[in-house]
Structure 1
Amino acid sequence: MNIKLATIEDSQQIFDIAEAAFSPSPWPKSLFEHELTSPRSQYFISDGGFVGVTQILDEVEVGSVAVHPNNQRQGLAYQLLTMVLTLPNVKRFLLEVDESNLAAIQLYEKLGFSAYYRREKYYKNGHAAIMMERKV
């Protein structure tokens, strides 16, 4: 599996993956375009998925993870996140996840993340967001 650092030329592919994974994408294409040109943001992409992160000093926030439905349950999200966890000079990784997304929560826990806060009724569907961190 080939994972690479995304560039602005990959914005359509990233948006298409998000559209397929979330139907519709919770993020507009313009957000991906903006983040792909931001010095604080990075996206890692493969043929079937991506992860987007923002780094401020020694903290990295995982802002988006998406895997195309045709590529789910094949370990792609694990591989993408494992690449993120190798970023240098990071002391803390952060993310949020819908409380009902048990598969993602299990994946994050497998990668060493733990819950530290719960935001009630955070998502449009009324679900809480589970805030998770991994300290290095």
Structure 2
Amino acid sequence: MMREKDLVRLATSSDVSALARLERLYFSDAWSEAGLRSGISGTGVRYFLYERDGDILGYCSAQTVMDEGELLRIVVDETVRGCGVGSRLLEALFAGLPQVRSWYLEVRESNRAAIALYKKYGFQPIGLRKNYYRNPQEHALLMRREKVG
């Protein structure tokens, strides 16, 4: 359940350790702290995180080039899954990058919960990347969302 004091905000370099913890817990190809720090301090990539009582329980990141964006990562701690955190992160991402007209992402073909979330926000399947993921090997569904208006 989302609470009024829950916060979605841009990540800073002081959040890197918490983001790396989520990476290690939920991704077989976890990004390193150095990689996360480089992304947060660089240009062209934005990180939004979900915080409750000082604990970072989710984040998403996206890369943008002009009016196109790619959702690179989204992760929600299992303790708050199904509570709207993924939706809040995507809404913050879209609101925080209003210049983006076309969004792209890859998602594991078996990740039904993520696919349902993306479809809720207007993403549609446009292709398949065979054997895209490792550990375990799996195809990626390529999805796109076009901004209306």
TM-score bracket, normalised by the shorter chain, equals over 0.9
Are 2:37 and 1:33 equivalent residues in the alignment? yes
Are 2:101 and 1:91 equivalent residues in the alignment? yes
Question: What is the letter of the counterpart of residue 69 of structure 2?
Answer: V
Separation in structure 1 between the aligned mates of residue 20 and residue 103 of structure 2, nearest angstrom: 24
Separation in structure 2 between the aligned mates of residue 8 and residue 39 of structure 1, nearest angstrom: 13
Separation in structure 1 between the aligned mates of residue 68 and residue 23 of structure 2, nearest angstrom: 24
- Which of 123, 144, 147 is the aligned partner of 1:133? 144
Q: TM-score, normalised by structure 2?
A: 0.86
- Which of 54, 60, 72 is the aligned partner of 2:69? 60
Residues 17-69 of structure 1: per-residue CA shift (max 9 Å, x gap): 222233x5522222111100111111001121000111111111110101111
- Which of 77, 89, 110 is the aligned partner of 2:120? 110
Are 2:29 and 1:20 equivalent residues in the alignment? no
SS at match of 2:132: coil
Higher-strand-fraction structure: 2
Q: Rg bigger for which structure?
A: 2
Offset of residue 121 of structure 1: 1.1
Offset of residue 89 of structure 1: 1.2
- Decide whether the 8 Å contact of 1:118 with 1:130 is kept in 2: yes
Offset of residue 126 of structure 1: 2.2
Runs of 5+ consecutive residues of structure 1 not aligned to the other structure: none
- Percent identity, please: 29
Question: What is the letter of the counterpart of residue 126 of structure 1?
Answer: Q
Separation in structure 1 between the aligned mates of residue 98 and residue 120 of structure 2, nearest angstrom: 21
Separation in structure 2 between the aligned mates of residue 113 and residue 2 of structure 1, nearest angstrom: 25
What RMSD over aligned residues (CA atoms) do the two structures have, in Å? Answer: 1.2
Q: TM-score, normalised by structure 1?
A: 0.93
